[in-house]
């Protein structure tokens, strides 16, 4: 089957892959990079467990062809782990709020929440729910996930205000 060269940035590093044109982005990142935070819960874009950021926007990587990633910048949960400073505030907020149970949906939820916490417009709890509506969790009832996102967004807005 046809293969194609794909060049993209993954978690800040420029990468080149010679990839089967039929492969999904999630398969490419799991198989070629070992980015196992990307989970497959449905393989058809229903559950959101494979959510990654592509040029800053959340996508279901299971239904995003790997070849479409040409020239794009991709961020996964592994890219939030800083070797020097440790984990990011949103990851810590998930831990502190008790937003993690089985953990299978957790990386996808964290990635889906990044546009919310990076926005200057404060989001209500209902707005947070709407923005992560493409992600499913069967363990938490979403309550503590919304808590973690809400808290981190407030913290980020306050930080930006105090530094500006």
Residues that bind other proteins (CB under 8 A): 35-37, 39-44, 46-47, 49, 76-78, 80-81, 87, 91-92, 94-96, 98, 100-107, 110, 125-126, 128-130, 132-133, 135-146
- Rank residues 54 and 136 by Cβ distance to other proteins and give the closer one: 136
- Rank residues 39 and 153 by Cβ distance to other proteins and give the closer one: 39
> Order of strands across the sheet with 3-10?
13-20, 3-10, 73-75, 51-54, 57-60
Cβ 162 to other proteins shortest distance, Å: 26
Place of tokens 């810590």: 92
Cβ 88 to other proteins shortest distance, Å: 9
At a CB cut-off of 8 Å and minimum separation 6, what does 104 contact?
39, 41, 49
At a CB cut-off of 8 Å and minimum separation 6, what does 147 contact?
97, 99
Cβ 2 to other proteins shortest distance, Å: 14
- Rank residues 85 and 163 by Cβ distance to other proteins and give the closer one: 85
Cβ 142 to other proteins shortest distance, Å: 5
- Rank residues 71 and 122 by Cβ distance to other proteins and give the closer one: 122
Cβ 109 to other proteins shortest distance, Å: 9
- Rank residues 71 and 95 by Cβ distance to other proteins and give the closer one: 95
Report yes or no: 67 and 28 within 8 Å, Cβ to Cβ.
Answer: no
């Amino acid at each position: 089957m046809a293969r194609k060269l794909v060049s993209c940035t993954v978690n800040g590093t420029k990468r080149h892959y010679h990839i089967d044109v039929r492969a999904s982005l999630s398969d490419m990142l799991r198989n070629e990079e070992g980015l196992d935070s990307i989970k497959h819960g449905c393989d058809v874009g229903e559950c959101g467990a494979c959510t990654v950021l592509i040029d800053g926007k959340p996508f279901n990587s299971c239904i995003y062809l790997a070849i479409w990633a040409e020239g794009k910048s991709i961020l996964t949960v592994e890219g939030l782990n800083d070797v020097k400073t440790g984990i990011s505030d949103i990851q810590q907020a998930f831990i502190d709020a008790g937003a993690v149970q089985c953990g299978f949906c957790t990386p996808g939820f964290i990635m889906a929440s990044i546009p919310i916490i990076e926005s200057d417009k404060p989001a209500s709890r209902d707005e947070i729910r709407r923005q992560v509506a493409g992600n499913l969790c069967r363990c938490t009832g979403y309550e503590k996930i919304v808590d973690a996102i809400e808290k981190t967004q407030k913290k980020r807005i306050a930080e930006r205000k105090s530094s500006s």
